[in-house]
Amino acid sequence: MTDIHRIPVIAIDGPSASGKGTVAKRVALRLGFHYLDSGALYRLVALDALRRGVELGNEDALARLTAALDACFDGDNIFLNQSDVTDSIRHEEIGAVASRVAAFPAVRRALLTRQRAFRQPPGLVAEGRDMGSVVFGDAALKIFLTADAEARADRRYKQLIEKGIDASITTLLQDIRERDARDIERTVAPLRKSSDASLLDTTGLSIEAAVEQVLARYAAAIRLP
């Protein structure tokens, strides 16, 4: 049997629309590691709650829903209750609701075991808000990946337009600032750079340059005595 703690983890945390998802996925591909988009789990909870009419302020009800979440990841496709919701969970409304439900301690506790189950050989790249600070505290490399709010709003705007989704950059910027405030101010697992995380500001970097930075830092980390 594999000692779970010997399986290397690269934890990439950071604010919304910082590019951490794209970077993490490409790093995982380059290394042949598994990939965890922890934000997708919270989006699944949000979507399931909305579909079931669960009160978004009811922490106990949301925690029960989270514990029983019927979700499946199959390559790039994500399923909820046997239905493909890959595109549905990416809507801005779902992201906003996910940020709200993620503030509840009971919801976060209910997802811990599911998140940690993604740690499989040969390794894992996990991205989110608390991957290094809470979920994988023993990660081989912890990255706090960020960019200024304006750059993040511009990236999100371009992503939505490319998908044919109407968007307002002014509204996106406001949403990002509000989401940052919720993530930073929540009492459980608030968004912040931990003391042992390496800061990576991608404001002026291309995706490929950011990927190379992470790979170089991982190579240095595993060479350390």
Say whether 94 sits in a helix, a strand or coil.
helix
Give the count of domains, the chain: 1
pLDDT given at position 224: 65
Nearest-angstrom CA–CA distance, 69 and 71: 6
Q: What is the pTM of this model?
A: 0.89
Which pLDDT tens digit goes with each residue over 89-118?
988 889 889 989 998 999 999 999 999 999
Which pLDDT tens digit goes with each residue over 52-77?
999 999 999 999 999 999 999 988 89
pLDDT given at position 1: 44
Q: Is residue 225 part of a domain?
A: no
* Tokens at 55, concatenated: 């009160």
Q: Is residue 1 part of a domain?
A: no
Q: Is residue 2 part of a domain?
A: no
94-111 burial by CB neighbour count: b if 16+ within 10 A, else e?
Answer: bbebbbbbbbbeebbebb
Q: Is residue 103 part of a domain?
A: yes
For 20, 25, 166, the CA distances from 37, given in Å and listed in that order, are 10, 9, 25
CATH code for position 58: 3.40.50.300
Domain that holds residue 205: 7-220
Q: Is residue 196 part of a domain?
A: yes
Output the DSSP codes for 131-165.
IIIIITTT-SEEEEEE--HHHHHHHHHHHHHHTT-
